Amino acid sequence: TTSEVTTSDPFVLAQAAADYIAQATGVASHDIALVLGSGWGAAADLIGEVTATLSANEVPGFSSPAVEGHVGTIRSVLTREGKRALVLGARTHYYEGKGVRAVVHGVRTAAAAGCRVLVLTNGCGGLNPAWAPGTPVLISDHINLTATSPLEGPTFVDLTDLYSSRLRGLAREVDPTLDEGVYAQFTGPHYETPAEVQYAKRIGADLVGMSTALEAIAARHAGLEVFGISLVTNLAAGISPTPLSHEEVIEAGRAAGPRISRLLADVIAK
Ligand SMILES: Nc1nc2[nH]c(I)nc2c(=O)[nH]1
């Protein structure tokens, strides 16, 4: 069944989505939400038992992108420790032109569904040549280069420690070799020019991508504790002499899958 909800209030729409998810999954309240970016798709099966799979387009406010695989689904997972995880495999990117409310609808839905923690993952470009494709990097902070915000009106939200140092500490207990970096969100969908990558480097970025920052801002506003982790799938433009190849990006993500999904499962088990 699809459930049509017409409202102009994004929080009313998020509550409608959360109510639908509770009813459709039989799970009244979830504890932790995960947004799985490119390369992270296998994580859901490693963090526990998938007890329900919904098609995103049956849930109010979600649209299922045209990409194959688990993208376009919303899954409820019972973790090894009995936690209820909500796996949002239906990320909307800002470059899709559906507006910033659509980009953060999943985050607001997760909060309305009872979650207290949000795990944001992504695939991105790396500015540090030591991070070969397939390297996971903890996000310590972000630089929002989208020139927009998911918040509207006089919602002056503090973003200090937005990427929880507590959760980063837990991740480093799991894997002490994990590096961390500052993530810059560009609008995309084009990749950066070499000059833009050098600009990002100069202003303090270590990672460049097209997601995450806007979702994290909405998550803080919704009272969620945020854990962000990137998978470096390519060296950002100009960092290495050879140009970007989409095949390289896809292959690096696929190859790193098992290791990073295990890492995520172990962090969540903490
Ligand atoms: N902006 C930006 N986004 C990305 N996503 C992936 I995967 N690689 C990149 C990249 O090099 N730049």
Tens-place pLDDT, residues 207-245: 999 999 999 999 999 999 999 999 998 899 999 877 667
- Of 107, 70, 133, which is closest to residue 213 (Cα–Cα)? 107
Confidence of residue 45 (pLDDT cuts 50, 70, 90): confident
The sign one gets for the Cα dihedral 147, 149, 152, 153 is negative
Q: Is the shortest distance between the CB of 211 and ligand 1 below 6 Å?
A: no
Indicate the burial class of 2 (C-beta count within 10 angstroms; 0-12, 13-18, 19 or more).
exposed
Beta bridge partners of 180: 138
Secondary structure letter of residue 183 according to DSSP: E
What is the pTM (predicted TM-score) of this model? 0.94
Spatial contact of 164 and 227, defined as CB atoms under 8 Å apart? yes
Integer Cα distance of 74 and 99 in angstroms: 21
First-to-final CA distance of the chain: 36
> How distant is the alpha carbon of residue 85 from its chain centre?
14
ipTM summary value: 0.98
CA-wise closest residue to 206 among 235, 170, 168, 165: 235
CA gap 87, 46 in Å, rounded: 12
Expressed in angstroms and rounded, the spacing between residue 216 Cα and the centre of ligand 1 is: 18
Residues β-bridged to residue 209:
185
Contact 134, 231 (CB under 8 A): yes
Taking a C-beta distance cutoff of 8 angstroms, is the pair 89, 56 a contact? yes
Rounded-to-integer distance, Cα 141 and Cα 238, Å: 23
Res 47 pLDDT > 60: yes
Atom 10, ligand 1: residue with shortest CA distance? 125
Gap from CA of 234 to ligand 1 centroid (Å):
7
CA distance 231 to 233: 6
The more confident residue out of 16 and 248 is 16
If DSSP codes are grouped into helix, strand and coil, which group holds residue 144? strand
Residue of 25 and 70 predicted with greater confidence: 25
Sequence-ordered list of residues with C-beta below 8 angstroms from that of 79, at least 6 positions apart, any chain: 47, 48, 85, 268, 269
Cα dihedral 153→156→160→166 (10° resolution) = -70
Neighbours of 63 (CB within 10 A): 15
CB 90 within 8 A of CB 105: no
Catalytic residues, by residue number, are 192
Lowest model confidence (mean pLDDT) among 69-78, 178-187, 243-252: 243-252
Residue closest by Cα to atom 6 of ligand 1? 124
How far is residue 139's CA from residue 230's CA, in Å, rounded to a whole number?
Answer: 7
Q: Which of 82-86, 185-189, 240-244 has the lowest mean pLDDT?
A: 240-244
Assess whether pLDDT exceeds 60 at residue 19.
Answer: yes
Distance 32 CA to ligand 1 centre (A): 26
212 lines ligand 1 (CB under 6 A): no
234, 242, 248, best to mutate for ligand 1 pocket (most atoms within 8 Å of CB): 234
